[in-house]
A and B are shown apart, each in its own frame.
Chain A
């Protein structure tokens, strides 16, 4: 019996950070969040061909990675590198903003990892997604 209680306690303790974020509002909207989402939305059209070709993959940590630049014509690689940097910059700002807007700046890491999972789930078939062990697989 005591083992069971201990296990329940452990599970509860482990799930606390996630539970905290779950209580928070990931869909919260502030002008900063609207602006960031707008910028990311307009950039998506440019990034989509790179997701499709596997040049850019969805990383576990809520960012995107230029995983195979050889899949991009040479003259476009600089642009692609810039797009990935700008996207990751906006994503980092988005996670920070959502945590802040919830009144808990310390939730940033959990917001990031929750979004990492969400981006991976939303990835289209054929896109490359990184698993928990850091390996890439095609969805």
Chain B
């Protein structure tokens, strides 16, 4: 076996052919066919078996080269052949102006691949020039010269489809890629170093992994590379310009981003270092990064990155929205600027700094919005840091909240806010001891919240609700979220209508899901009925009322079940009910209820006194099982008369559809139910 050392095997192969020919047949002339069996050739990365050259004539003419097997980069090709229509074989060298390489097809149906080639080799200088033209207008050309100082190889591509290299790259076997490359690369090998200079233009480039999660199409780009090898260490500088083409890198889609990248670094087989990398583009802003990658361990040893001021309006549709969408998160519109910097060690974040300036985000459905967010958030994995987040204005539905100033204390995966007072109309929301911990599977937080007195008039006006008087205040000693459930520790106490409402066992499941579910028990105590009825245009009832809502379960905005009871509060106070309120309560009781009213009395007086009033409703499967303060023959008492003039209202409808009851309430409170007095 003829063994030739690795490196420049093509060059040595031809040298060997010419040498063999001239040594075996010295001076032989005339037309004489020669068959040279050249055996095998092993150049490390390239191995050729059973190489044969058939020359029609030693001075020139047609030549056929065949090889039984070619092994390169782990791939094997069998029965390759090359033919030259006219080979010029002289002592000065070897030239083939018109030849072709024939690659057998992968299967019997397909045609063999024939690639036209030109080849020229000068024995004196060792210069060679090989050009392959696999298709019209496509050229792959390799030229080499040998000088005293070393060797230079020049690769010139003209619309070369680099997808043809795929079989040579075993690492890329799961990827489809292709495209046209034009330009040149020059490799200079000197005794002390090797340099590579490449200037390439890519066009119509496409790539895709097997799943299609990473793919690009119609990409145009330019690549400039300067690299130098000294010993086993390469140092390099590169500039990439990507003006055109689409890339999908799940979950991000970039359409013609106009990105420019410059980078420099080193590579020694064990580790790759990027000393300075800058990425710039209109949709990306500016990002600087550096780092060291441990190739054997497959991890980032150290890395750092910093962005310039990024325009979120530009960045959000391409980068933030798809991330939220892939998590089925909310649709948000972003404006403002952000800057992010971070440090990574051993594949884990060590520190990060986030700066936000005049950021605004609005939920697409208009449910909430935050405006004027300014934040400076430094974070260290191993130290406590102080962060400040200021929000000029938050809007929850129609309710304006703020300005909000949040002094945060961060450490590792935990966040703490000792106290924040947030203006809410003429009162305040006070957040106390807020703690958030991000877990590997789910996150949780807890807090204490209080709302200091807010005028109900202002609150209801802001929410677009019926105007109520009085004050609203609330105290939540503890609230926590674990996974998708928010739960209350203790009671939520709300002062309302001069009485109070207390909510216990409050649980909110998937508060941001499609159908949030709420569970609670509610107690109403000593509510001023005059305030309440005036607010809802129900007529006028003077007195006080208690209520209980046990086992309340709500899906979205619709109650699924509860046991409700309202009844006059115990105690001694004035109890009067207006003519209109009597009509309205009887309307709630259903068609039959009105019959119980003593009409003659109702016609005479504007208002009446009562002993007690109340209703019960047990809601199951959309049906309200109704009752009153006490039973009546065939019905229940809703208003029990006492004093002068007295009036009682009796209800006879025991089972009322919940929707029907709501419709009745709406009609009554919208004033459509006018009292009709005969």
A residues with CB within 8 A of B: 30-32, 35-36, 39, 67-72, 74-75, 77-78, 81-82, 85-86, 88-90, 93, 97
Contact = CB atoms under 8 A, between A and B. Distances in A.
B106 interface: no
B175 to A, nearest CB: 11
B514 A31 contact: no
B436 interface: no
Given A30-B560, A69-B211, A70-B215, A82 B517 contact: no
A72 B514 CA distance: 28
Given A68-B212, A81-B325, A82-B326, A74 B513 contact: no
B558 A85 contact: no
Nearest to A39: B514
Contacts of B211: 67-70
B250 A77 contact: yes
A78 B215 contact: no
B252 interface: yes
A97 B556 CA distance: 13
Interface in B324-345: 325-328
Given A31-B515, A82-B322, A85-B325, A75 B255 contact: yes
Contacts of B412: none
B371 interface: no
Contacts, number: 78
B112 interface: no
Contacts of A77: 212, 215, 248, 250, 253
Nearest to A68: B212
A78 B251 contact: yes
A75 B514 contact: no
A75 B255 CA distance: 8
Contacts of A88: 328
B289 interface: no
Contact of B215 (A39, A74, A85, A97): A74
Contacts of A69: 211-213, 215, 248, 250
A32 B515 contact: yes
Nearest to A77: B248
Interface in B401-443: none
Contact of B250 (A75, A81, A90): A81
Nearest to B331: A82
A2 to B, nearest CB: 46
Contacts of A67: 211
Interface residues of B, number: 30
Contacts of B251: 78, 81-82
B363 interface: no
A36 B213 CA distance: 28
Contacts of B328: 85-86, 88-89
A74 B555 contact: no
A24 B555 CA distance: 20
B516 to A, nearest CB: 9
Closest 7 CB pairs of A and B: A69-B212, A70-B212, A32-B515, A89-B328, A82-B325, A78-B253, A32-B555
Contacts of B625: none
Contacts of A68: 211-212
B217 interface: yes
B246 interface: yes
Interface string B235-264: 000000000001110111101000000000
B475 to A, nearest CB: 31
B510 interface: yes
Contacts of B208: 70
A31 B250 contact: no
Given A32-B555, A32-B556, A35-B514, A85 B248 contact: no
Given A69-B213, A74-B246, A74-B248, A31 B253 contact: no
**Listed residue (B211, B212, B326) with the most chain A CB atoms within 10 angstroms of its CB:** B212
16 contacts: A32-B555, A35-B556, A36-B514, A36-B515, A68-B211, A69-B213, A69-B248, A69-B250, A71-B212, A74-B215, A75-B246, A77-B212, A77-B248, A86-B325, A88-B328, A97-B515
